[in-house]
Structure 1
Amino acid sequence: MELGIGMFGDLTYYGEKEQFQAPGERLKEMIEQVKLADELGLDCFVLGEHHRPDYAVSSTEVVLAALAPVTRHIKLGSGVTVLSSADPVKVYQDYATLDLLSGARAEIVAGRGSFIESFPLFGYDLKDYNELFTEKLELLLQLNKEEVVTWEGRFRAPIHKQTIYPRPERKLPVWVAAGGTPESVFRAAKLGLPVIFAIIGGMPEQFRPLVDFYREQYLEHGHDEKDMQVAIHSHSFVSESSEALIENYFPCYAAQMDRIGKSRGWSPYTKMQFRGGMGPKGALFMGEPVEVTDKILQAIEMFGLTRFVAHLDVGGPEHKDLMKTIELYGTKVVPEVRKALKV
């Protein structure tokens, strides 16, 4: 069982100045935050890719490479690489390089992308959304499996008896990220790939049928049960006081949900929704250490998890607050989860 953290590089919004934090400042803060997570013994860090003004990270590989020499043990992965709008050859090269730099700590979490800004930016048509991911995942896996590659597809120039350099000293771990679609789950299960579910709203229990479907299809396609890995990635925040968390963190969390929701037709995010999400059956792993601990243990039992990723920086909370929540997560929550699981 692995316990980690995730970030997107959300920029703090300064309302009085009506501007976002400088991206360079946020990136330097992130390095400090992940260094702390590594020192506290967390298992993994995953970093998302976005191409919007409210996020600092568009190139996960570069940021993870900056983290490699200042951390020692923590796994460094994307969360996610929007593979549909990327070149799998370049993705493979970048993460092979990261793996060599970090001492075999790199991971790729491949997804179709719930944000669509990268498609027009890199010249792809959204009508090919599913086909792009299917084809590019196939190529990425072939690059990871074979040293000399011959491949031909629809969206990229063919490759004929070529080797991609540098070569990592192992096969890179490749995960598939899933939202709520059975197609994504089936693809991961059929290929025997580990799956990570983004559970950020509603009730986690609603995902149980999808997790059961993954397990069923994974075994049906002949993969070994001992190799099966299932993770969830959920919005999280830890505070010494739940009421203080609601008072201080809700405003920036709601502002970011509303920024995203404006383009998706969502209603304004309310404090009632936030409290509901923090409740025992909600999807927000937020509150005091004991509350977050209990909720993680409940999720592990419900889904048979092998990994839980606490996504911490939604809305761009200030650096000191992120450092505090990482400290509480690493010193209060994670040890209690490990103790309960006897790991």
Structure 2
Amino acid sequence: MSEPATPLDPRTAQRLAWTRIALGDAAARLERASTDAGFRSYWRTHGAASSRIVMDSPPDKEDVRPWLRARDLLEAGGVRVPRVLARDVDAGFLLLEDLGGPTMAQVVDAANADAHIDGAITQLLILQSIALPEDTVVFGEALLQRDAGLFEDWYLRHHLGIELDCGDAERLQLTQRRLMDNALAQARVPTHRDYMPRNLMPVADGPAVLDFQDMVIGPIAYDPVSLLRDAFLSWPEARVDAWLRRYHARALAAGLPVPDIASFLRDADWLGVQRHLKILGIFARLHHRDGKSRYLADAPRFIGYLDAVVPRYRELDPLRDLLERTIKPAIARLPA
């Protein structure tokens, strides 16, 4: 006599039942495809029909409507995004086309990077050219202040155990103010805010763009530097510089409001510093608050980025002093 099946938890049972109805396949099965840093999860279908992806956004934790709104805007503007085949917004379930397994981050290497980056720039230029609704959130002072707080609250205080003295607090505040002023002075375009190889799928008519629900109107250099100074991949600085120049030339040709090349490279550097500080805070929060510790393994990459860029600019000397005198010694004291 066979063992009785283990009862499914309510959300798992609800997801499977919805999938079988959406597919018209009472025997369809689901297996985990991927998850993200939030509460969404992704499941690949197996059954009589071609595989599909079920996106599960528990409505009490992750409203699916912003994702759908951004997806529809991007698709209408010509950006390659996942196609939606069925939806239940109230329950938080979407049935999507299956774009395949590997993301760009999993297939890009030194030999094929130029082609992948060029394709990513093509999609980015389309995204940056879209006319967004007037009520789209602007990546302004409020969001920048929130990002700045993530670094101090979660990376310095929670992770490194640092309480800044008056001098160090002043150095950090001065640096953050200069970074924010630079971001606020840039021309504004549609901004993905996490445009990186992990969120790009290498399909024939793409790459397809993922994880776009936090799209805002923001500084034009933000997404290029997110792509090229990625949270999970590092490239030689000379190669990054060449790609930034390639983006700049193509953006000019597309009529996008980029400044002269010297100003753009500086803007990209400074936004890279702002973004790296923010992500250090996010990774520390994922570890300490959410129990998702794998992201912290990439924290040294951000310190490396800062070491490469910050010394180029006298205006960022307060951050260099803070790194050398306070942050790096605290990192060295962390348990191995």
TM-score range, shorter chain: under 0.3
TM-score of the two chains, using structure 2 as the length reference: 0.26
Q: Which has the larger radius of gyration?
A: 2
As a proportion of its length, which structure holds more strand?
Answer: 1
Higher relative contact order (CA 8 A, sep 6+): 1
TM-score of the two chains, using structure 1 as the length reference: 0.26
